Chains A and B, each alone.
Chain A
Amino acid sequence: QKEVEQNSGPLSVPEGAIASLNCTYSDRGSQSFFWYRQYSGKSPELIMFIYSNGDKEDGRFTAQLNKASQYVSLLIRDSQPSDSATYLCAVKGTGGYNKLIFGAGTRLAVHP
């Protein structure tokens, strides 16, 4: 079992729809979770982080965390073609230091 798993996609949604991106993790002790966006040929860009169970909203983005189910998701409302990118879920490793463990990413395509 991989430490952080994401559906590779592509996830195709029409412009204006809600895109839902999911991620599961294996280490029950994990406490910090991050979503990064990566455009083709570019480096990852931080979108959001979440530490507590429940929802956290920032503009069109909502991160959801369920530690009991070891599940974290990212919702993008009113999706735009400019949101087309690969979305990386990252989990902070346990053990006192902050290495990030990444999933392979989900490719999102928003079509007009």
Chain B
Amino acid sequence: KAGVTQTPRYLIKTRGQQVTLSCSPISGHRSVSWYQQTPGQGLQFLFEYFSETQRNKGNFPGRFSGRQFSNSRSEMNVSTLELGDSALYLCASSFGTGREKLFFGSGTQLSVL
């Protein structure tokens, strides 16, 4: 069974640009959540999608957005990139039915110059 796949693995952008990250969950999982990890703030919840609907949202500005497709694949978008957006972005998938373990991808390392 394939794990959670995130693409691309590494990304370098400049300030002001926008970026789209992709996440393919484990087959059968309907929930995809996104996290941002930085040395200063640690691991922080961005948002969760379940059956193409945003179910939970963290405390991030509107520049951070996401969506989920009918096959449960998810994308997150960051517009007008800032230096502080440099981080490891992790997505996690689960069945989304309650308290259960999350399966994490390897992450996308975003560097904003």
Do these two chains really belong together in a complex?
Answer: no
